[in-house]
Amino acid sequence: MKSTMSAHVVIVLLLLAAPVQAQFVVPPLPIVDGPITGPGEVYPGLRPPLTPGSEPADFGYVTEEFFVSGTANGQPYKTRILVRRPEPADRFSGIVVSEVMHSNGFAVTFQPARKSILLRGHVHLEIAAQQTNVTATLKPFNPTRYASLNIPSGGQTSEIVAQVGLLIKSNLSGGPLGSLFARRLILQGTSQASAVLRTYQSQKHFQSRVPDASAIVDGYLATSTLGGAPMMIVDVPTIHMPTMTEVNSAGAGGPTFRRPDSDDPANRYRLFEVAGMAHANSRDTVAYVPNPCTLPVSDFPWGATAAMGLQHLIAWADQGIVPPHAPPLEFDVNTANDGSRLALDEFGNVKGGVRNPYVDVPVAQYGVPNAGATPAANFNCSIAGWRLPYAAAALADLYKNHGSYISQVNRRLMELVREGWILPEYTEDIRSDALAIDIPPPGKR
Domain boundaries, the chain: 1-217
Q: Name the more confident of 386 and 21.
A: 386
pLDDT of residue 161: 98
Q: What percent of the chain has pLDDT over 70?
A: 94
Tell me the mean pLDDT in the region 186-194: 97
Phi, psi for residue 26 in degrees, rounded to 5: -95, 120
Strand partners, 79: 68
Instruction: Indicate if the pLDDT at residue 144 is higher than 60.
Output: yes
3-state DSSP assignment of residue 76: strand
The pLDDT assigned to 51 comes to 79
Q: Is the pLDDT of residue 232 over 60?
A: yes
DSSP state of 120: T
Mean pLDDT to the nearest integer, 22-51:
90
More confident residue, 21 or 169: 169
Longest dimension (CA), the chain: 80
Task: Tell me what the pLDDT averaged over the chain comes to.
Answer: 92
Confidence of residue 81 (pLDDT cuts 50, 70, 90): very high
pLDDT at 312: 98
Question: What's the rounded mean pLDDT across residues 219-243?
Answer: 96
pLDDT value at 15 more than 80: no
For residue 445, what pLDDT is reported? 55
Average pLDDT value for residue range 299-307: 97
DSSP codes of every residue in 128-176: --SHHIIIIIIHHH-TTTTTT-B---GGGHHHHHHHHHHHHHHT-TTST
Q: What is the DSSP string of 357-407?
A: HHHHS-SEEEES---BSSGGGHHHHHTB-EEEEPPHHHHHHH-SSHHHHHH
Which residues make Cβ contacts (< 8 Å) with residue 75, sequence separation at least 6? Answer: 152, 153, 156
pLDDT at 186: 98
User: What pLDDT does residue 21 have?
Assistant: 41
Q: Residues near 434 by Cβ (< 8 Å), separated by ≥ 6?
A: 357, 361, 405, 406, 409
CB 217 within 8 Å of CB 249? no
- Residue 12 has what pLDDT? 34
* pLDDT in the model for residue 3: 41
| pLDDT given at position 9 | 33
Q: What is the mean pLDDT of residues 359-383?
A: 95
User: Which pLDDT belongs to residue 50?
Assistant: 79
pLDDT tier, 284 (very low <50, low <70, confident <90, very high otherwise): confident
